Structures are given as structure tokens and as C-alpha cells.
């Protein structure tokens, strides 16, 4: 495993940072792609702290040429890329009519096209070798959009459509490159402190909050197991299944609850900086400001990633019940 190589985009902070550390714990060498040099250097130290090796690659994933150059450098200096994780994202907390067109375009380019360019760079190298895995970090919002985050919801929905299309192409070509998507619930990351906003109060996650390490463990599991999709957190399961059954009801419920549910109680500082066009200086780590509320474990993820264990336990229980009734 020491020779395995993974690229993680958006690895300077949040879930990307936690994911880089998770791979390093398992002995992988980690290519760190993001814009913020301060955060990348912090991520490098975290990877090395757990015994891993890191390569810092300052890249704007919205620029195809930069992504391609980073992939070429990793393979030139380290060797073949085994896993590529597309995690980089940008969001805007604002209603659609008050979102500037250039801001909407930029958020889409980072969140959607950034993943497309990462997939392209990875697939160009993996497909001729007929091996490798590409992990798209999605969201429950790819299925169940919410108000006040139209650019992000649209980009994640587009990424899901793109991924499904590409998956069919790989099946047609009988390729053994694995393409998977990990859909997340709400997480305690710095995005709520550096995402562009027109709110008067500080943005916050909607609903139950998990620590980024929960997502990182799910992403790592998806990278090394051949699962089409993995849903992380019971709220993601509820949102995805709910929108298949009662979409109209959820439209109305979110219209009433998702506005105040995404605004905190502290006013937005006039000095607040966002990372839509430039990274916010400093190393912001993996965690946001919700440590006291965030859960560091998900029973749903454990059950979903241990299906055979649960099936075996159920079989044993049935056999014991049958023996008991027969006596």
C-alpha cells in the first residue's frame, strides 16, 4: 500500500483535508490539489504527521490546463495515479435573484467543471492501464435541492448526471476503471465561514451535522470498494429517498424551514472574506466552528459499509430462532 497514489482536490481544508489524512493513515502517497498555499502546507504537515508522503500542488481546478499539468507532474515524479478524488467545491449562500451572474458562473466552474477536468485528467491515464478509481464527492443536494444554494445544488446535480453518463460509457468499453459517487449530509467544515454570502447572519449547515472525518472514511471506503454510490449520514438517505416519494411536500417544507435553518444568530462581520475567487489566507484546517454540535460517527455509514456482516448476523439470528422454535 505504500506505493499507492491518490490525488485529492480541495485538500487544503474541510472534507478534502480530512480525506487526504485518511488516505495517508492507510499508507497512501497523497497529491494535494487546491488554491490556498497556506492550507496546502497545513495539509502536508497533517499527512506527514500520520506517516504519509504528500506533494503540494497549488491549482485552480476550474482551469483545465492547471489540473492536467498537476496530474502530469504527479505521474512524472511518483508514478501512476491509483485513485482520484474530486472534492473541490465553492458555494454561495444567497437567493438566486441576488446572486451575481459572474459569481454563479464561478461557483459552477469550480464545483462542476473542476470535477469534470479532474475526471478527464484521471481517466486519460487510468483507462489505458485499465485500472484505477475516480471518486466524485457529491451531496444529498444533488438529489434534493434546497433554497439559497442554487449554484451549488445545480453543480452537484450536473456532476451526478455527468457521472452517470460516463459510467455507462465505461461499461460499454468494458473498462475496469471504477467510477463512484459519495453523497454527503451536512458537515462541520470551514465552508460556512468562507463561502460567499448575502445573508445578514452567518451561514450554518441545515440539519444534523457530522465531523469531516466521517465523510473521509466513507470516501476512502468507496475508493477501495466497487460500489456505484455511497450515501453518508442518515439525513442524506432521508433526503434522497424522500425526494423520490414526496418531492412536492419537500419543496414546501424547505420553503418554510430552510431559510432560517441556514442562518445562524451572529451577524456577518464586515471584514469577512470569502474564497470564491481567491483563497482566504491562513490554514483553516478540516473543521469548522460547529465542533460542539457535530457527530464523529454514523451508524448508517457503518451499516451500509458492512452489509455482508449484517447479512451474516441476520442469517445466524434466523437459524437460532428456527432451532429454538424446533425444540
257 in the same domain as 154 = yes
208 in the same domain as 77 = yes
Q: Read off the pLDDT of residues 286-296 as tens digits, 9 standing for 90 and up.
A: 999 999 999 99
Cα–Cα dist 183/142, whole Å? 8
Cα–Cα dist 16/5, whole Å? 15
311 in the same domain as 292 = no
Angle between helices 14-25 and 37-49 (to 10 degrees): 30
Burial 235-265 (b: 16+ CB within 10 A, else e): bbbbbbebbeeeeeebeeebeeebeeebbbe
The domain containing residue 172 runs over which residues?
5-296
197 in the same domain as 322 = no
133 in the same domain as 92 = yes
Using an 8 Å Cβ cutoff, are 94 and 148 in contact?
yes
Local structure of residue 239 (DSSP, 8 states): H
86 in the same domain as 56 = yes
Q: Which residue in 295, 100, 289 sits closest to 202, CA to CA?
A: 289
Tell me, what's the pLDDT at 1? 46
Tell me, what's the pLDDT at 326? 75
210 in the same domain as 327 = no
113 in the same domain as 9 = yes
195 in the same domain as 100 = yes
CATH code: domain of residue 52: 3.40.50.720
Tell me, what's the pLDDT at 318? 81
Q: Which residue in 184, 183, 175, 78 sits closest to 133, CA to CA?
A: 175
307 in the same domain as 176 = no
Give kind and range of the element (H or E) at residue 145: none
For the chain, the domain total comes to 2
Q: Read off the pLDDT of residues 133-172 as tens digits, 9 standing for 90 and up.
A: 999 999 999 999 999 999 999 999 999 999 999 999 999 9
302 in the same domain as 292 = no
Q: In a structure prediction context, what are the per-residue pLDDT tens digits for the chain, which is 327 residues long?
A: 458 999 999 999 999 999 999 999 999 999 999 999 999 999 999 999 999 999 999 999 999 999 999 999 999 999 999 999 999 999 999 999 999 999 999 999 999 999 999 999 999 999 999 999 999 999 999 999 999 999 999 999 999 999 999 999 999 999 999 999 999 999 999 999 999 999 999 999 999 999 999 999 999 999 999 999 999 999 999 999 999 999 999 999 999 999 999 999 999 999 999 999 999 999 999 999 999 999 999 999 999 999 877 777 777 778 777 888 776
Q: Are strands 186-187 and 209-210 parallel, antiparallel or unpaired?
A: parallel
193 in the same domain as 50 = yes
Amino acid at each position: 500500500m505504500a506505493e499507492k497514489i491518490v490525488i485529492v482536490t480541495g485538500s487544503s481544508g474541510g472534507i478534502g483535508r480530512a480525506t487526504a489524512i485518511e488516505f495517508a493513515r492507510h499508507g497512501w502517497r497523497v497529491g494535494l490539489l487546491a488554491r490556498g498555499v497556506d492550507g496546502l502546507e497545513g495539509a502536508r504537515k497533517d499527512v506527514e504527521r500520520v506517516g504519509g508522503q504528500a506533494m503540494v500542488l497549488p491549482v485552480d481546478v476550474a482551469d483545465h490546463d492547471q489540473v492536467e499539468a498537476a496530474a502530469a507532474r504527479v505521474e512524472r515524479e511518483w508514478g501512476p495515479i491509483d485513485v482520484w478524488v474530486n472534492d473541490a467545491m465553492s458555494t454561495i449562500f444567497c437567493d438566486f435573484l441576488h446572486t451575481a451572474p459572474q459569481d454563479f458562473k464561478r461557483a459552477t466552474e469550480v464545483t462542476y467543471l473542476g470535477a469534470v477536468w479532474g475526471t478527464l485528467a484521471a481517466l486519460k491515464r487510468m483507462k489505458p492501464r485499465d485500472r484505477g478509481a475516480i471518486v466524485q464527492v457529491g451531496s444529498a443536494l444533488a438529489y434534493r435541492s434546497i433554497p439559497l444554494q442554487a449554484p451549488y445544488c445545480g453543480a452537484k446535480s450536473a456532476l451526478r448526471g455527468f457521472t452517470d453518463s460516463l459510467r455507462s460509457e465505461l461499461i460499454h468499453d468494458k473498462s475496469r476503471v471504477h467510477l463512484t459517487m459519495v453523497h454527503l449530509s451536512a458537515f462541520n467544515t470551514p465552508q460556512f465561514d468562507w463561502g460567499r454570502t448575502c445573508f445578514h447572519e452567518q451561514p450554518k449547515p441545515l440539519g444534523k451535522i457530522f465531523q469531516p472525518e466521517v465523510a473521509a472514511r466513507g470516501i476512502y471506503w468507496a475508493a477501495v470498494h466497487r460500489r456505484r454510490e455511497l450515501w453518508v449520514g442518515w439525513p442524506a438517505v432521508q433526503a434522497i429517498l424522500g425526494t423520490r416519494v414526496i418531492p412536492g411536500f419537500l419543496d414546501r417544507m424547505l420553503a418554510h424551514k430552510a431559510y432560517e435553518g441556514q442562518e445562524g444568530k451572529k451577524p456577518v462581520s464586515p471584514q469577512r472574506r470569502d474564497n470564491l475567487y481567491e483563497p482566504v489566507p491562513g490554514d483553516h484546517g478540516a473543521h469548522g466552528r460547529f465542533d460542539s454540535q457535530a457527530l464523529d460517527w454514523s451508524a448508517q455509514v457503518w451499516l451500509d459499509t458492512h452489509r455482508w456482516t449484517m447479512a451474516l448476523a441476520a442469517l445466524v439470528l434466523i437459524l437460532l430462532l428456527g432451532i429454538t422454535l424446533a425444540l
